[in-house]
């Protein structure tokens, strides 16, 4: 009996390491050095180091690798259909590994410390309250629950929730409006759309002012 269970344990141990090895293979992470070369294609709009100088183009510096990969794939497949220019650019990323390499390059860059436009302090204070407490009257759940403290995300392995703290104000406003109108609908289970639909224009503006000030 003892012998049998020992064999079983040994077998299970072997199986576990096999799963680990193949798991590691399937989940091969990006190579930032390879990614830097390819990211040249993206830098014209997003900035060479992912700190774009224009709010039309989101900051990618410090964003989670797997979130970047998901967005590239969503643009490629038409799941994210709120920008034709970016869809065209995503079509030029040839493979999943290329997307991971580019994603890991931008993820490793440091976000610039300045916002593009001055922050409205009053709106930012309202935005902070909304971010942490939500709006019980309209049933809006606090953003912090998914996007983490100051919108800095939860962890690289929970990249389903992007880092939004320090993102450009006007890019955030556009995304919230796109989620609200349904122009962007690539969020898992519609969870971001459900929230955006409950936000007033003032709340959108307030959240964007608060978030754009959450720099490194």
Burial group, residue 151, by CB count within 10 angstroms (0-12, 13-18, 19+): buried
Residue 192 near ligand HEC by CB under 6 A: yes
Only one of the segments 12-20, 25-33, 111-119, 140-148 lies at the binding site for ligand HEC (rule: CB under 6 A); that segment is 140-148
Based on CB atoms, which residue is closest to ligand HEC, 119 or 130? 130
Q: What's the rounded Cα separation, in Å, for the pair 30 and 35?
A: 8
Based on CB atoms, which residue is closest to ligand HEC, 28 or 102? 102
CA dist list (Å): 153 to 156, 194, 202, 210: 8, 19, 24, 15
**Site for ligand HEC (CB under 6 A): which residue of 107, 140, 206, 213?**
140
CA dist list (Å): 190 to 24, 46, 78, 179, 200: 30, 27, 16, 9, 18
Residue 146 near ligand HEC by CB under 6 A: yes
Based on CB atoms, which residue is closest to ligand HEC, 24 or 37? 37
Comparing CA positions, the residue from 35, 149, 133 lying closest to residue 93 is: 35
Based on CB atoms, which residue is closest to ligand HEC, 13 or 54? 54
Comparing CA positions, the residue from 191, 92, 81, 204 lying closest to residue 147 is: 191
Q: What's the rounded Cα separation, in Å, for the pair 152 and 161?
A: 10
Based on CB atoms, which residue is closest to ligand HEC, 84 or 114? 84
Residue 186 near ligand HEC by CB under 6 A: yes
Q: What's the rounded Cα separation, in Å, for the pair 145 and 102?
A: 28
**Site for ligand HEC (CB under 6 A): which residue of 34, 81, 116, 160?**
160
> Which string of x and - marks every residue 76-115 that binds ligand HEC (by CB under 6 A)?
------xx-xx--x--xx--------x-------------
> Which string of x and - marks every residue 1-40 that binds ligand HEC (by CB under 6 A)?
----------------------------------------
CA dist list (Å): 73 to 68, 89, 197, 201: 9, 11, 25, 30
Residue 195 near ligand HEC by CB under 6 A: yes
- CA angle 68/37/84 to nearest 5° reads 45
Closest distance to ligand HEC from the beta carbon of 145 (Å): 5
Look at the chain and count its residues. Answer: 216
Footprint of ligand HEC (CB under 6 A):
41-42, 44-46, 56-58, 60, 68, 70-72, 82-83, 85-86, 89, 92-93, 102, 130, 140-141, 143, 145-147, 160-162, 164, 172, 174-176, 186-188, 191-192, 195, 207
């Amino acid at each position: 009996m003892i012998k049998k269970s020992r064999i079983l344990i040994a077998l299970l141990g072997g199986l576990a390491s096999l799963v680990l090895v193949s798991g590691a293979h399937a989940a091969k992470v990006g190579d930032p050095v390879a990614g830097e070369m390819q990211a040249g294609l993206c830098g014209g709009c997003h900035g060479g180091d992912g700190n774009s100088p224009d709010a039309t183009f989101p900051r990618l510096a410090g964003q989670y690798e797997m979130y970047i990969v998901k967005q590239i794939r969503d643009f490629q497949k038409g799941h994210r259909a709120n920008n034709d220019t970016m869809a065209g650019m995503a079509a030029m990323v040839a493979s999943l590994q290329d997307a991971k390499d580019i994603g890991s390059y931008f993820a490793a860059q440091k976000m610039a410390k300045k916002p593009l436009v001055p922050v409205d302090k009053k709106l930012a204070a309202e935005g902070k309250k909304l971010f942490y407490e939500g709006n019980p009257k309209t049933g809006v759940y606090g953003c912090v629950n998914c996007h983490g403290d100051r919108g800095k995300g939860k962890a690289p392995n929970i990249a389903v929730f992007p880092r939004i703290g320090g993102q450009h104000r006007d890019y955030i406003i556009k995304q919230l409006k796109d989620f609200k109108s349904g122009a962007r609908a690539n969020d898992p289970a519609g969870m971001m759309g459900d929230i955006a639909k409950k936000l007033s224009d003032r709340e959108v503006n307030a959240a964007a002012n608060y978030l754009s000030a959450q720099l490194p």
